[in-house]
Amino acid sequence: MSGLLLSADEALAREVHGRTIAAVLVALFVSGGELHTVFTRRRDDMRRHPGEISFPGGRREPEDPSLIETALREAHEEIGLAPDVVRIAGALAPTPTMVTGYAVYPFVGLISPGQHWTPSVDEVAEVLELSLPALRAGHARRRLIRRGVPIRTDVYEVEGALIWGATARMVGELLTRLAPLLG
């Protein structure tokens, strides 16, 4: 993946609009000869982004020494992924959220297949492992209604999971950057 992803320093040097700084972990693994990534489906009773599918992550806390550490801490809290089993391979461009005002820094990490997930009972309804080829095949432009406002946006629909918004923009960049590996 060398040369396909941004380095952490390149990602951190990019400007992104958002009043709250956050980081997510785009955990990749190979299973059945295909690259997969890990998402969470947020609980329906969450105040922000209820029921939405996203990469594990969240806002930077003052005790986090870096945004990579934020992504690793959040993945551990949300899905039980131990930080020491993740090898950071690079990053994607920081992505703003339109409504909630977050500046999200996605870090790509490699993990072994067959992880045992321990979803946070407070935040995560489900952990999803989706293949990158299935995500690519599930891409479409759709009209969604959010908070009563129609929007036309890129979406990825796989196995009944609908990914849209900032997460869809990250998935789009991931698929573009890793296209040489996907054939």
CA atoms within 13 A on the CB side of 64: 17
34-42 and 53-54 strand pairing: antiparallel
3-state SS assignment for residue 176 = helix
pLDDT, residue 2, reads 72
What would the mean pLDDT of 136-153 be, rounded to a whole number? 80
Query: Tell me, what amino acid is at 2?
Result: S
Give residue-wise pLDDT tens across range 69-126. 999 999 999 999 999 999 999 999 999 987 788 999 999 999 999 999 999 999 999 9
Q: If one looks up domain 8-130 in CATH, what number appears?
A: 3.90.79.10
Task: Report the predicted TM-score, pTM, of the whole model to 2 decimal places.
Answer: 0.93
Distance from C-alpha of 135 to C-alpha of 156, rounded to nearest angstrom: 6
Q: What percent of the chain has pLDDT over 70?
A: 94
Greater pLDDT, 101 or 183: 101
Q: pLDDT band at 146, cuts 50/70/90? A: low
Distance from C-alpha of 183 to C-alpha of 175, rounded to nearest angstrom: 11
What would the mean pLDDT of 18-27 be, rounded to a whole number? 96
Residue (of 23, 43, 32) closest to 127 by Cα position: 43
